[in-house]
A and B are shown apart, each in its own frame.
Chain A
Amino acid sequence: AQKITQTQPGMFVQEKEAVTLDCTYDTSDQSYGLFWYKQPSSGEMIFLIYQGSYDEQNATEGRYSLNFQKARKSANLVISASQLGDSAMYFCAMREGSWGNEKLTFGTGTRLTIIP
């Protein structure tokens, strides 16, 4: 089974609208972390936001927020007031369990295109 599932291969959104990128995960660990990264066409990986499994509040970072629904195992990224510069690939990732090993498992990504 896929550990991270991103069901939207591509999305087109009008500039200034909000956008939600879906991510569901699968783990049996009680302690885990969820990450979102942005990959623009230049190729680098840009960290956006982090949510820990024990965090009671949804993470927020500027225009980014993470809609964390633990029982449903979903960690959707919400971008408010989208901008042209938000056009990029977005990857959801998970770090599981054991203390010390920070390896991440990535989803297949969503290509977001912002339309002027």
Chain B
Amino acid sequence: NAGVMQNPRHLVRRRGQEARLRCSPVKGHSHVYWYRQLPEEGLKFMVYLQKENIIDESGMPKERFSAEFPKEGPSILRIQQVVRGDSAAYFCASSPLRDRANNEQFFGPGTRLTVL
């Protein structure tokens, strides 16, 4: 079974451009989480989505950032008008329907965004 897929793995954007990061969860997983890791720091939660719903966006910056998880297709994290401070690694994780017996949250390989 394929794990969590993220693309692109590396993304370079100039200030003011848009960045679109894609995440395909493990097949059958309906919950997707996005995290951001700034250089030399731990991961910080951004947003939690289920199919067609944003459940918790408490970690999302108020402006320029948006996320979706449509009924069909991957989850998208979109950053408009990128600034240098957006340079980071963005990780997506997925988990199945609630099952306490399965506690692993499956992480993708991350997308490394560099803003020039």
Residues of A within 8 A of B (CB): 4, 33, 35, 37, 43-45, 47, 50, 52, 91, 93, 95, 99-109
Specify which chain A residues have a CB less than 8 angstroms from the CB of B41 in the assembled complex.
Answer: 108-109
Contact B112–A43 (Cβ < 8 Å)? yes
What count of chain B residues pass the 8 Å CB interface test? 26
In chain B, residues 26-50, which have Cβ atoms closer than 8 Å to a Cβ of chain A? 31, 33, 35, 41-45, 48
Main secondary structure of the interface of B (DSSP, over half): strand
Contact B107–A102 (Cβ < 8 Å)? no
Given contacts A103-B48, A104-B45, A108-B41, are A44 and B107 in contact (CB under 8 A)?
A: yes
How distant is the Cα of A103 from the Cα of B104 in the complex, in angstroms? 12
Q: Which A-chain residue is minimally distant from B46 (CB atoms)?
A: A103
Given contacts A35-B105, A50-B104, A102-B95, are A45 and B43 in contact (CB under 8 A)?
A: yes
Q: Which B-chain residue is minimally distant from A91 (CB atoms)?
A: B42
Residues of B within 8 A of A (CB): 31, 33, 35, 41-45, 48, 55-56, 59, 89, 91, 93, 95, 98, 100, 103-107, 109-110, 112
